[in-house]
Structure 1
Amino acid sequence: MKNRTKGQLEAEISEAVIRFEKEFMGRGPLETKTYIIDDMVLVRLRNVLTQAELKLADVHGSKDGRELVKRVRIALLEQGRPLLEEVIENILGVKVKSLHTDISTVTGERVILFSLATTPDIPQK
């Protein structure tokens, strides 16, 4: 890990996830924040939905559009899962055990949680 601080590692993960969102999903978030907590990495992305997805999710009285947007976004992330896991493993030097995600069609916010095989060895300040 080249003696990077926790903040530097979190920033590097945020940048990598933004790159993934732009290259793999076609649009990046407006804001991303990463938190390394013991053997987990939590990435919070804001404003990830396209205008078309927001319109589809906003069909009054119907959950079909919202559910479709969520299903498509989760399916796309699953396709890119090996790429994301590799990025996290390369940055932290720890194997990713599992990845969990959800997206809000109301706020346009997505969370990605990586569960790690062990707690990364991050130097204390």
Structure 2
Amino acid sequence: MTKGQAESLISEFIIKFEKEYIGRGPTTTKTYIIKDMVLVRLKGVLTAGEEQLAKSPEGADLIKKIRARLLEEGRALLEDMISKITGCQVLSLHTDISTKIGERVIIFILDKNLEELFL
């Protein structure tokens, strides 16, 4: 498997996860493998209701908390799939969502430098 193929598979999985687990998929998703990290950038992740809620600081905070909790509930599934695709163990997962531009980033830290494996 090439680096590009792995990135594409990860993007496809994350889109499917978001649609099935969160209830709405992103408009676009791009995955980047950078050394021992997998960075997934998702655009257009907010629902119409969340966009309205995000107009207030309290609403934006609530969206962040709910989305973080939902992702945490599916964490084992995410880590397992990333491990299967990359052949690496996931050491940690980090995420944040921007309620201003409707983007989310997910970063997986792996136990190996994937870029070296693709050389």
Q: Among 93, 108, 111, which residue is 1:114 paired with?
A: 108
Give the letter for the 1:23 counterpart. E
> Partner of 1:123 in structure 2?
118
Q: Deviations over 1:53-92 (max 9, x none)?
A: 1111113xxx100000000000100000000001100000
For 1:8 and 1:111, locate their aligned partners in 2 and report how far apart those are by CA, in whole Å: 20
For 1:34 and 1:123, locate their aligned partners in 2 and report how far apart those are by CA, in whole Å: 15
Q: Which runs of 5+ in 2 are unaligned?
A: none
Q: Which runs of 5+ in 1 are unaligned?
A: none
Deviation of residue 47 (structure 1)? 0.5
Q: Among 75, 100, 110, which residue is 2:94 paired with?
A: 100
RMSD across aligned C-alpha pairs, in angstroms? 0.9
Per the normalisation by structure 1, the TM-score is 0.91
Deviation of residue 119 (structure 1)? 1.6
Do 1:5 and 1:122's aligned partners in 2 also have CA atoms closer than 8 Å? no
Per the normalisation by structure 2, the TM-score is 0.96
For 1:122 and 1:15, locate their aligned partners in 2 and report how far apart those are by CA, in whole Å: 21
Q: Among 67, 71, 74, which residue is 1:77 paired with?
A: 71
Q: Identity across aligned pairs (percent)? A: 57
Q: Which has the higher helix share?
A: 2
Give the letter for the 1:95 counterpart. Q
> Partner of 2:44 in structure 1?
47
For 2:118 and 2:86, locate their aligned partners in 1 and report how far apart those are by CA, in whole Å: 12
> Partner of 2:27 in structure 1?
30
Deviation of residue 122 (structure 1)? 3.2
Give the letter for the 1:117 counterpart. D
> Partner of 1:5 in structure 2?
2
For 1:12 and 1:122, locate their aligned partners in 2 and report how far apart those are by CA, in whole Å: 17
Aligned length: 118
SS of corresponding position for 1:49:
coil
SS of corresponding position for 1:66:
helix
Deviation of residue 123 (structure 1)? 2.9
Which structure has the larger Rg?
A: 1
